[in-house]
């Protein structure tokens, strides 16, 4: 059973998506939330954690990007897929930077949503609407041409840089451990050392700093 949470400030959107998901026999909607603050409060009280959170971006009090930046650190095993009507560069960049694994437009058909949900849980995928994928490619292409050469102020080892880049890509500890043939404990130790070396306290800060410093050409 795939456990899902829906976060959207509009009731009609929550209800519509909830109906689509509940029509699937292998999907369970644990709860819904009206904004980021509401979501974080309900997560503290939840008996079970979701596998996937469908997160709106534009919400009052605490928007989706800020919420993912906080929640992806506190709940590293939870996958966040952004749902939005926007496909502008800044929103894509911010969402992926803060830990979202997917980015879908709200007008996607139900089949695409269900397919994306299973792709995230069963295959560790990163679903994107076609328009979003094209935008992401444009962002990466622009980044490749900048060739910012600031590695001289980078105190990290090659292995630590490799792990940090995977954090930037939104991957969790288990996924990084699997890809690098290391244990999750070893990855956690490396990440703790990374934080100390670059003087940050969490993943969101580490991602922000590495991108500002130009350590990775993908952005």
Burial zone of 213 (CB within 10 Å; 0-12 exposed, 13-18 middle, 19+ buried) = middle
Report the alpha-carbon distance of residue 72 to residue 102 in Å, rounded. 13
Q: Where are the domain boundaries for CATH 1.10.10.10 in the chain?
A: 147-213
- The rounded Cα 65 to chain-centroid distance in angstroms is 9
CA angle 197, 200, 201 (to 5 degrees): 120
The confidence score (pLDDT) of residue 81 equals 86
Q: Where are the domain boundaries for CATH 3.40.50.2300 in the chain?
A: 2-140
Tokens of 204: 């969101």
Architecture of domain 2-140: 3-Layer(aba) Sandwich (3.40)
Print pLDDT tens along the chain (219 aa): 889 999 999 999 899 888 888 888 888 999 999 999 999 999 988 889 999 999 998 888 888 888 888 888 788 888 888 887 765 556 666 666 667 777 777 777 777 777 777 777 776 665 555 555 555 545 544 544 444 444 446 788 889 989 988 877 777 788 899 999 999 899 989 988 988 888 777 666 677 677 667 776 443
Report the alpha-carbon distance of residue 121 to residue 123 in Å, rounded. 6
Report the alpha-carbon distance of residue 55 to residue 147 in Å, rounded. 33
Q: How confident is the model over 85-113, as pLDDT tens digits? A: 765 556 666 666 667 777 777 777 777 77
Report the alpha-carbon distance of residue 7 to residue 31 in Å, rounded. 9
Q: Which whole-number Å values give the CA distances from 127 to 93, 193, 201, in the listed order?
A: 15, 31, 29
| CATH (residue range 147-213) | 1.10.10.10
Rounded to two decimals, the pTM is 0.60
């Amino acid at each position: 059973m795939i456990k899902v949470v829906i976060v959207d400030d509009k009731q009609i959107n929550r209800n519509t998506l909830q109906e689509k998901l509940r029509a699937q026999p292998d999907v369970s909607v644990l709860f819904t939330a009206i904004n980021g603050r509401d979501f974080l409060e309900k997560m503290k009280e939840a008996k079970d954690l979701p596998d996937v959170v469908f997160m709106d971006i534009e919400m009052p009090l605490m928007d989706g990007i800020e919420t993912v930046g906080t929640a992806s650190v506190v709940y590293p095993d939870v996958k966040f897929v952004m749902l939005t009507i926007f496909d502008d560069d800044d929103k894509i960049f911010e969402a992926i930077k803060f830990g979202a694994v997917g980015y879908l437009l709200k007008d996607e058909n139900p089949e695409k949503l269900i397919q994306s949900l299973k792709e995230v849980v069963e295959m560790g995928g990163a679903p994107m609407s076609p328009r979003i994928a094209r935008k992401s490619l444009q962002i990466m292409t622009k980044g490749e041409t900048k060739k910012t050469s600031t590695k001289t102020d980078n105190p990290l080892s090659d292995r630590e840089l490799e792990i940090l880049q995977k954090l930037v890509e939104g991957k969790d500890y288990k996924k990084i451990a699997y890809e690098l043939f290391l244990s999750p404990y070893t990855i956690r130790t490396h990440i703790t050392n990374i934080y100390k070396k670059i003087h940050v306290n969490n993943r969101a800060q580490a991602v922000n700093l590495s991108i500002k410093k130009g350590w990775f050409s993908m952005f």
